């Protein structure tokens, strides 16, 4: 399905969006990738949604990406004798490992690894930061704290520890089971939660064994500090602003978002901006002006994708939320300022022949009348390099691998087309002309740029560029050979 925008839209599926009719409506409204949230739903529900997406893909034509988001370890307090307690600012409160119900002075925190990492002065955030505790003294099985922000604390509320790197693996037992299940289904992307260090990606990559691309969710201060190293071992990034805004001062999140987007673009790896983008549309058919501005900011900054969570999974207006994102994207990308901003952020990268080829393709496209840049890409690498250039013309990635086409649904400006295997560059050019015309990106009088690697079917070998007219006689000539 041809899109008239470059940024991609990710829509989370859930109770409000589980039927064939709704999922197809979301795709037709603008969703390019669907997110399966492994924090909610049984495996049977996840499989049913996966099967529907693939049916919609078949019925509508064109690739649809599927992202499975692993839950990650959950750190929670225990239970209270009265169900909840009121904590006052300045009072003492203890967290420990005792198997006793909590009261107004203490509660169990059943995570020994937290006590092993805590130091006096560290902050503990409970219930998304609504309650804040500062550690005064701690040991192997306790932490004596002062309440710095009070409120009602109740059973099994989540705990964030922003000031220390916790000795907790990014994959829980549930995550390992979920990972194997969704890789068996055939999802295209895996999002890994609770990433703190590059090594957190290693187990997931080994278990995945190439069956899906792996995306690191940046939601902890430690991940921000180690971002360059995490990016190097990731296939993509999600800026998960929810937990990031809990563990860091909220004023820090916008500049972090900008920096991470720019670093991802420089590395030619897709980046998703996520969380609370159109939060009010869970219950309202219209977004707030601030939300529209937030979505627009991510697009202006050059994010590859913007994501809906509860808005499409559990909200009352899922189609309207996707439509709103699509409309904002179209409006922003038609603004001359958008082009100025995107091009001002471009970094010249000429480390490889492929870098030079895609840079030349973009320059030729900007200085002459070119309808599209067509790249043959088996692994997707060439398409990612062209996407990094943020050209003013459409990008068409031609591949023989359905898996590659689906993964590229997350990348800025990339339109995918399946093609037969080719062994000559002339055949590649003819295939590119056919695809560009069939997909509505070029007409008989247009020219396209074709990039490919010779010898063919060798990942990362892009080394040739040609400007080709889309004349029918070329196709007929090739057919008659």
Residue 479: both structure tokens together: 């057919």
Mapping DSSP to helix (H, G, I), strand (E, B) and coil, where does residue 236 land? strand
289 by Cβ neighbours in 10 Å (0-12 / 13-18 / 19+) ranks as: exposed
Q: Is 367 a catalytic residue?
A: no
Alpha carbon separation from 63 to 115, 409, 446 (Å, rounded)? 47, 7, 25
Mapping DSSP to helix (H, G, I), strand (E, B) and coil, where does residue 248 land? coil
Which pairing describes strands 84-87 and 213-218: parallel, antiparallel, or unpaired?
Answer: unpaired
Mapping DSSP to helix (H, G, I), strand (E, B) and coil, where does residue 323 land? helix
Q: Considering only the C-alpha atoms of the chain, give the largest distance between any 2 of them, rounded to a whole number of Å.
A: 86
Residue 383: both structure tokens together: 């398409």
Residue 146: both structure tokens together: 């002062």
Containing H/E element for 165? Answer: none
Q: Of the residues 24, 108, 275, 462, which is catalytic?
A: 275
How many Cα atoms are found within 13 Å in the side-chain-facing hemisphere of 45?
A: 13
Q: Of the residues 5, 35, 132, 437, which is catalytic?
A: 35
- Rounded Cα gap, residues 364 and 373, in angstroms: 10
Containing H/E element for 242? Answer: helix 241-247
Q: Of the residues 74, 76, 98, 134, which is catalytic?
A: 76
Instruction: Give the per-residue SS3 of 261-303.
Output: HHHHHHCCCCEEEECCCCHHHHCCCCCCHHHHHHHHHHHHCCC
Its sign, for the CA torsion 332, 335, 341, 346, is: positive
For residue 379, what is the DSSP state? S
Cα 460 off chain centre by = 23
Residue 439: closest CA among 376, 390, 394: 394
Residue 124: both structure tokens together: 């503990």
Mapping DSSP to helix (H, G, I), strand (E, B) and coil, where does residue 310 land? helix
CB 331 within 8 A of CB 355: no
Residues 6+ apart with CB under 8 A from 22: 16, 318, 319
Q: Of the residues 94, 217, 269, 388, which is catalytic?
A: 217
Residue written as token pair 């959950």: 74
Residue 355: closest CA among 392, 389, 396, 390: 389
CB 310 within 8 A of CB 3: no
Length of the chain equals 481
Q: Is 76 a catalytic residue?
A: yes
Catalytic residues: 35, 76, 217, 275
């Amino acid at each position: 399905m041809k899109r008239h925008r470059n940024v991609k839209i990710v829509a989370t599926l859930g109770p409000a969006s589980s039927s064939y009719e709704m999922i197809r409506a979301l795709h037709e409204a603008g969703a390019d990738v669907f997110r399966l949230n492994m924090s909610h739903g049984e495996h049977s529900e996840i499989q049913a949604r996966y099967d529907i997406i693939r049916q919609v893909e078949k019925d509508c034509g064109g690739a649809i990406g599927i992202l499975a988001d692993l839950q990650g370890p959950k750190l929670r307090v225990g239970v209270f004798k009265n169900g909840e307690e009121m904590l006052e600012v300045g009072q003492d409160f203890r967290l420990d490992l005792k198997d006793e119900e909590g009261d107004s002075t203490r509660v169990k925190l059943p995570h020994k690894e937290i006590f092993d990492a805590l130091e006096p002065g560290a902050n503990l955030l409970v219930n998304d930061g609504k309650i804040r505790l500062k550690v005064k003294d701690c040991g192997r099985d306790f932490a004596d704290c002062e309440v710095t922000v009070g409120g009602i604390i109740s059973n099994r509320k989540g705990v964030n520890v922003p000031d220390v790197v916790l000795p907790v693996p990014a994959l829980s037992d549930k995550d390992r089971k979920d990972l194997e299940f969704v890789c068996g289904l055939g999802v295209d992307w895996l999002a890994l939660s609770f990433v703190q260090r590059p090594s957190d990606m290693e187990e997931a990559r080994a278990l995945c064994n190439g069956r899906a691309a792996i995306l690191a969710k940046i939601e902890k201060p430690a991940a921000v500090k180690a971002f360059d190293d995490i990016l190097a071992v990731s296939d993509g990034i999600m800026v998960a602003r929810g937990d990031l805004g809990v563990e860091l001062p909220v004023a820090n999140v916008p500049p972090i978002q900008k920096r991470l987007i720019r670093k991802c673009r420089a590395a030619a790896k897709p980046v998703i901006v996520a969380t609370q983008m159109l939060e009010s549309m869970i219950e309202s058919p219209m977004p707030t002006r601030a939300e529209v501005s937030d979505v627009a900011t991510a697009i202006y900054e050059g994010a590859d994708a913007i994501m809906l969570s509860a808005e499409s999974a559990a909200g009352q207006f899922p189609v309207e939320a996707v439509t709103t994102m699509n409309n904002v994207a179209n409006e922003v990308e038609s603004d001359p300022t958008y082009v100025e901003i995107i091009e001002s952020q471009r970094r010249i990268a000429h480390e490889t022949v492929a870098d030079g080829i895609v840079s030349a393709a973009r320059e030729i496209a900007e200085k002459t009348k070119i309808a599209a840049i067509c790249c043959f890409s088996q692994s997707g690498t060439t398409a990612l390099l062209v996407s990094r250039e943020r050209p003013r013309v459409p990008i068409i990635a031609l591949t023989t691998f359905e898996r590659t086409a689906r993964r590229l649904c997350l990348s800025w400006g990339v339109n995918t087309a399946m093609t037969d295997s080719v062994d000559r560059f002339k055949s590649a050019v003819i295939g590119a002309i056919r695809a560009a015309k069939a997909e509505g990106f070029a007409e008989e009088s247009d020219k396209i740029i074709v990039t490919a690697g010779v010898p063919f079917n060798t990942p990362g070998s892009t080394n040739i560029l040609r400007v080709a007219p889309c004349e029918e006689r070329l196709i007929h000539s090739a057919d008659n050979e």
